[in-house]
Structure 1
Amino acid sequence: MDDVLQTFVKAANNYDFSLDITLNVNGALISGTTMSAEEYLNSISSVFDEGNDVSQAIGEKLSQAGQSAKENSKSVSYIHLKNTRIFNGDADSTPAEGDFYWRGKLEQVDGFFLGRISSEEE
């Protein structure tokens, strides 16, 4: 696992440090802005707020996991991005519009560079 990338993730988790970054993962480019695990889990938990009892229970578990992630942020295994775009080959990015959160295993990242790639629509 890349020590520099791991340092960026720890800074995001511990200090809400955000950084525009593009990751190379299995040939795809994942471009976005770093966010803490807590912010990621809280953001996706809100998707389940308006649903039925099962949906709300899932949202609650994700919120609890967000708090747990903040308390246990010494070791990191995942990187979390917001405003994410995925580029695979010459095709347009996925998703084409809207906010998109992404979570990936740090050990699966082949490389990275600082900065985001924007699609022509942005």
Structure 2
Amino acid sequence: MEKDIILNLLNEMASSEFGIEVSITLNVKGSIVTGTLINYEKYLSGTKQFIEDNATGKYRDVFSEVFNKLQENHEKFLLEEKLNEDEPKKFNFIHLKNAKYHFGDVAVPDQGNWWRGKIESIDGFTIGSIA
């Protein structure tokens, strides 16, 4: 399946050294998702913090260790990627913070959350938020 060049460019800009963040509305298989486009590092860091703030006991420790390993692996990946800077970046996932699903005039959850989705599942998008 061919990926949208503009969505890929936005994702690349979020993942660049500038780490831009932009409000976006996604249509994903008929569902509307809004949030702020972020890079993978911010997604990992935010999700890890969310789990540490909300999980208890051994679950908190296990999830924290898993996210530490993911961050370490991503740092290694970034070093390898710098060696191959001439090759175009290929993104399979998109990451949002403050993400909400919209059902008519109702947004869930109220405060937003961390969201990760497959780019190939996105049917359309709007730069900016509908809400």
Give TM class, smaller chain. Answer: 0.7 to 0.9
Q: CA offsets per residue over residues 53-90 of structure 1, 9 Å max, x none?
A: 423322312332443464449321111111111113x2
Residue 106 of structure 2 corresponds to residue 103 of structure 1: no
Normalised by the size of structure 2, how large is the TM-score?
0.76
Which of 98, 115, 121 pairs up with 2:128?
115
8 Å contact kept, 1:30–1:84: yes
Normalised by the size of structure 1, how large is the TM-score?
0.81
Equivalent in the alignment of 2:75: 67
Which of 84, 92, 102 pairs up with 2:99?
84
Count of matched residue pairs: 116
**Matched residues in 1 for 2:63 and 2:123: separation?**
35
Unaligned 5+ segments in structure 1 are none
Q: Flag the 1:65–1:49 CA change in 2: closer, same or farther, 3 A.
A: farther
Unaligned 5+ segments in structure 2 are 83-88
Residue 60 of structure 2 corresponds to residue 57 of structure 1: no
> Identity over aligned residues, as a percent?
31
Over the residues paired in the alignment, what is the CA RMSD in angstroms? 2.2
1 or 2, which has the higher helix percentage?
Answer: 2
Equivalent in the alignment of 2:5: 3
Amino acid at match of 2:114: Y
Equivalent in the alignment of 1:44: 47
Q: Flag the 1:12–1:58 CA change in 2: closer, same or farther, 3 A.
A: same
